[in-house]
Structure 1
């Protein structure tokens, strides 16, 4: 298995999910306010799973690399 590195498109998805999380939690819970975060998080997870399978990298390592890169930028 190859070492996981964070592709730019997945980092961008994670940053969007992080931003949606900040917005969702700023107001308190409401299903409508949290839906964008839920959808963004699902997109990140689907992207990570697909990329890990396509590139034969460890899914967990890829996810951790994406999350770290999203925090750095």
Structure 2
């Protein structure tokens, strides 16, 4: 499956936001959690739009994006 670079960039950004949660607590954690949720929402919307525009399964597009990002690099939270 050919995954557009913008979907990969959005997923990578969401993963980076998630990784920043490590070691935080209190207000800092909540602020970072909101940033992560916003990034995750953006990638989910882009995946949904791409799947609809190309007639592909949303699930399959999402899994291909995740595989492309996670297969290229280590988990940023580790």
* TM tier, smaller: 0.7 to 0.9
Structure 1: state its 5+ residue gaps: none
Structure 2: state its 5+ residue gaps: 73-78
* TM-score between the two structures when normalised by the length of structure 2: 0.80
* TM-score between the two structures when normalised by the length of structure 1: 0.85
Higher relative contact order (CA 8 A, sep 6+): 1
Runs (4+) off by over 2 Å: none
| Cα RMSD, aligned residues only | 1.4
- CA-CA distance at 1:68 after TM superposition: 0.4
**Count of residues in correspondence between the two structures:** 70
